[in-house]
Amino acid sequence: MSVTIVCLIGFVCVFGGSLAGMILGAFLPEHHLSDQSIDTIKAARGVIVGLAALTVGLLVASAKSSFDLKGSELRSSAAKIIVLDRTLEKYGPKAEEARDQVRQVVINGIARVHAAHAQGADAERLNTGAIIDNLQRKLLALRPENEDQAWLKSSALSIGSEIANSRWQIYESLSSSLQWPFLAVLLFWLSGIFFSFGLTAPRNASVVTALFVAAASVTGAIYLILELDMPFMGLIQLSTEPLELALDQLKR
């Protein structure tokens, strides 16, 4: 399910809760909305507001931290690719096939990220480890002729393994790590809060507008959390610029 649809459902639940509270409040007997009843409703609402505010704040901070970490992984992979190419360049002409494969790894990586941007994560389409496997085979096929080349091959294999590991970490980050039951509980809390607002609020256009804006703002926070949690899809995306800059460095 797309982030936009989830947020639309969330907005309907939250704003719908306030409208349901207004409608129900119009039919309740007066003693249900006495001063003592309203004070109790406000006290209960305060507890839920505290839980929801803390949860949303933690989710935003966690999603932003995850987004920054994934960006760091992408930049780190690009840097390792450049180092690997320079290592193979020092190895000599016999490493040219391996260097060509390094460039193919970068081109394939850029294409996969663009595909995720355009169409979302598709495990069958994006899970293609053949390119990086071919690179590792090319590195293993090198036959050092002296100690310098032996050291360079060992370094290249180590860097290649790190790139392969980073590649799978980036692939795993294509999908969301947010647990949907957790999000459902959060929406339940928010709907309850707005239901209590509608139950005790005056019934006029200004109040409805204020509740509409508040519901849209809360849903916007959820949208931000989901977008940051899936940085290769949606509006908030990680840039392929590090990989593109690395590709420029590999051109001869």
Sites in the chain below the pLDDT cut of 70: 1, 116-129, 169-177, 234, 251-252
pLDDT of residue 171: 65
What sign for the dihedral angle of Cα 180, 226, 132, 166?
negative
* Residues near 105 by beta carbon (within 8 Å), at least 6 away in sequence: 81, 131, 132, 135, 163, 167
List the chain domain ranges. 3-250
Write out the H or E segment, with its range, that includes residue 176. Answer: none
pLDDT of residue 252: 56
Residue-wise pLDDT for 223-240, tens only, equals 888 888 777 776 777 777
40 phi, psi to nearest 5 deg: -65, -40
pLDDT of residue 175: 59
| pTM for this prediction | 0.72
pLDDT of residue 125: 47
pLDDT of residue 117: 63
Apex CA 129: angle with CA 251 and CA 63, to 5°? 90
Q: Cα(34)–Cα(237) distance, rounded to whole angstroms?
A: 50
Segments of 139-225 assigned E as strands: none
Residue tagged 């949690």 (tokens): 229
pLDDT of residue 217: 92
* Residues near 199 by beta carbon (within 8 Å), at least 6 away in sequence: 21, 22, 24, 25, 33, 41
Rg (CA), the chain: 27
Residue tagged 């933690």 (tokens): 58
Residue-wise pLDDT for 19-55, tens only, equals 998 888 888 787 777 788 888 888 988 899 998 888 8
